[in-house]
Amino acid sequence: MTLFPEDKPRDECGVFGIYGHDLDVSRYTYYGLIGLQHRGQESAGIAVSDGESIELYKNLGLVSEVFQKGILKGLKGHIAVGHVRYSTTGSNSVVNAQPLMFNYLKGTLAIAHNGNLTNAERLRNLLSLNGSVFQSSSDTEIFVNLIARYGQDELEDALKKCMIDIKGAYSLVIMAKDKLIGVRDPFGVRPLCIGRLGDGWVLSSESCALDNIGATFLRDVEPGEIVIIDENGLTSHRPMNVGRRALCIFELVYLARPDSVIDGYSVNKTRREMGKQLFREHPIDGDCVIPVPDSGLAAALGYAQESGIPYKFGLMKNRYVNRTFIQPTQEMRDIAVSLKINPIREVLEGKKVILVDDSIVRGTTSRKIVKMLRKSGVREIHLVVSSPEIHFPCYYGIDTSNQEELIARRMDVDGIREHIGVDSLHFLSLEGMLAAAGQEPENFCNACFSGDYPVEVTDQNLSKGILEKGVSR
């Protein structure tokens, strides 16, 4: 949706895996990926093993667009892995779609990855020097090539060696012809959980996809853990223990679905708590609390409940504005936002409004919404945000847009307030956000807010742009 770039950080991917001899694994993966579709809308893919060989199908588009009935029927087996990828402007080729499937000394593997490596450039250079080939700009090829370099080892051992070499955030689902493997990086930056479906096993980025297919949540994959699922059931390896966890707090703030539970945190509850904490820190005496749909829904509810100020739907979202929509011309520009989100005058007119959103990245959409609210006759607009200012880029798999575009890098809070055009603007404090999330604030990665990067960032010029140069998209 290049027309209305949600002014939000975007997760890079969702991964899913399933193992079960009596299960229609490709269909379950299809439904699982639809449950994870919010984590990526650019491409979708499913690979299936029948114990002998692996078949893969992937293409650009939503899960429901990529997979037609006939294609799913052609993917028969008892193990499957799937992947959804987020949308970037201009990236119109299928080369970076996942799962990646490759042959190496020990046979065929399919791999699906969520996250981002922080020493990819160094490893890529090293591998290139020794004759490795990279066919995409995806970090996942680093794993692929490293596994191949350790091709004399058993797969489990190769993976352990990879975990030592590789720095960064990764939740992986890997399929060999006879087994399903889940790997989570030593800090557990990206989520990954395990479920049961009858006698079968499921791996998923988020628990909501387990619910969707009727599977039962078993537990999260632990940071630094390798789980191997084969005919002997599940075995766990813990080659890495770095002494701390660092779940991306942004999964709770915005990325994950409200009905997921990640590392024990209910996403929905956490967001509501952030809203409550937001009121405690910034109590405003308004006429009503208005969420920005859909990102501010839960936090606004928390704010309303803690404050006792009425919760109102003051902005209506049009569900039919989608990617295939014709862009308004330059002169019809304001129509773009209005078509997507329309104010409800009855709620707003003459009111002192407390507008709640979960985060501000570039401030562009906020500004347009505020302009629109003004036209609807609001008296005052007080924007409260259930996370702190984003000062720092994410190196662990979240696209927070270009650093220069981060509004908080360019202005102070008052500058942002003026830019957006609100009467007052308040961000939740870092401490408040972490407190709202739960008891162990040190268990999160909050680098985008604090600059405190838990995982070593080796690459000198680490940026998405660098990695892509000269490589196929």
Closer to a second copy by Cβ: residue 237 or 473: 473
Task: Please report how close the Cβ of residue 278 comes to a second copy at its closest, in angstroms.
Answer: 17
Closer to a second copy by Cβ: residue 304 or 384: 304
- Buried b / exposed e over 177-213, threshold 16 CB at 10 Å, is bebbbbbbbbbbbbbbbbbebeebbbbbbbbbbbbbb
Closer to a second copy by Cβ: residue 24 or 281: 24
Task: Please report how close the Cβ of residue 449 comes to a second copy at its closest, in angstroms.
Answer: 24
Write the CB contacts of 455 (distance below 8 Å, at least 6 apart in sequence): 118, 167, 168, 169, 185, 187, 189, 246, 395, 396, 445
Is 13 one of the annotated active-site residues of the chain? yes
Helices (H), 2-51: 25-35
From residue 383, alpha-carbon distances to 80, 129, 254, 276, 308 in Å are 45, 52, 17, 15, 17
Task: Please report how close the Cβ of residue 372 comes to a second copy at its closest, in angstroms.
Answer: 9
- Of 392, 413, 400, which is closest to residue 362 (Cα–Cα)? 400
How far is residue 331's CA from residue 347's CA, in Å, rounded to a whole number?
Answer: 29
Task: Please report how close the Cβ of residue 56 comes to a second copy at its closest, in angstroms.
Answer: 5
For residue 239, with 0-12 CB atoms within 10 Å meaning exposed, 13-18 middle and 19 or more buried, which class applies? middle
**In this structure, are residues 223 and 242 in contact, taking their beta carbons and an 8 Å threshold?**
yes
C-alpha angle with apex 464: 459 to 470, nearest 5 degrees?
A: 95
Task: Please report how close the Cβ of residue 452 comes to a second copy at its closest, in angstroms.
Answer: 28
From residue 242, alpha-carbon distances to 185, 222, 224, 438, 441 in Å are 10, 12, 8, 21, 17
- Of 353, 417, 430, which is closest to residue 387 (Cα–Cα)? 430
Q: Which helix (H) or strand (E) holds 63?
A: helix 63-66
Closer to a second copy by Cβ: residue 93 or 241: 93
Task: Please report how close the Cβ of residue 426 comes to a second copy at its closest, in angstroms.
Answer: 23
Task: Please report how close the Cβ of residue 185 comes to a second copy at its closest, in angstroms.
Answer: 21
Q: How many CA atoms lie within 13 A of 246 on its CB side?
A: 22
Task: Please report how close the Cβ of residue 454 comes to a second copy at its closest, in angstroms.
Answer: 27
Closer to a second copy by Cβ: residue 325 or 423: 325
- 24: number of Cβ within 10 Å: 17
- 95: number of Cβ within 10 Å: 13
**In this structure, are residues 208 and 259 in contact, taking their beta carbons and an 8 Å threshold?**
yes
**Catalytic residue (one of 13, 193, 248, 448):** 13
- Buried b / exposed e over 280-310, threshold 16 CB at 10 Å, is eebebebbbbbbbbebbbbbbbbbbebbebe
**In this structure, are residues 384 and 433 in contact, taking their beta carbons and an 8 Å threshold?**
no
Closer to a second copy by Cβ: residue 324 or 460: 324
How far is residue 166's CA from residue 120's CA, in Å, rounded to a whole number?
Answer: 8
Q: Which helix (H) or strand (E) holds 436?
A: helix 430-437
Write the CB contacts of 431 (distance below 8 Å, at least 6 apart in sequence): 441
Task: Please report how close the Cβ of residue 259 comes to a second copy at its closest, in angstroms.
Answer: 4
Residues with catalytic function: 13
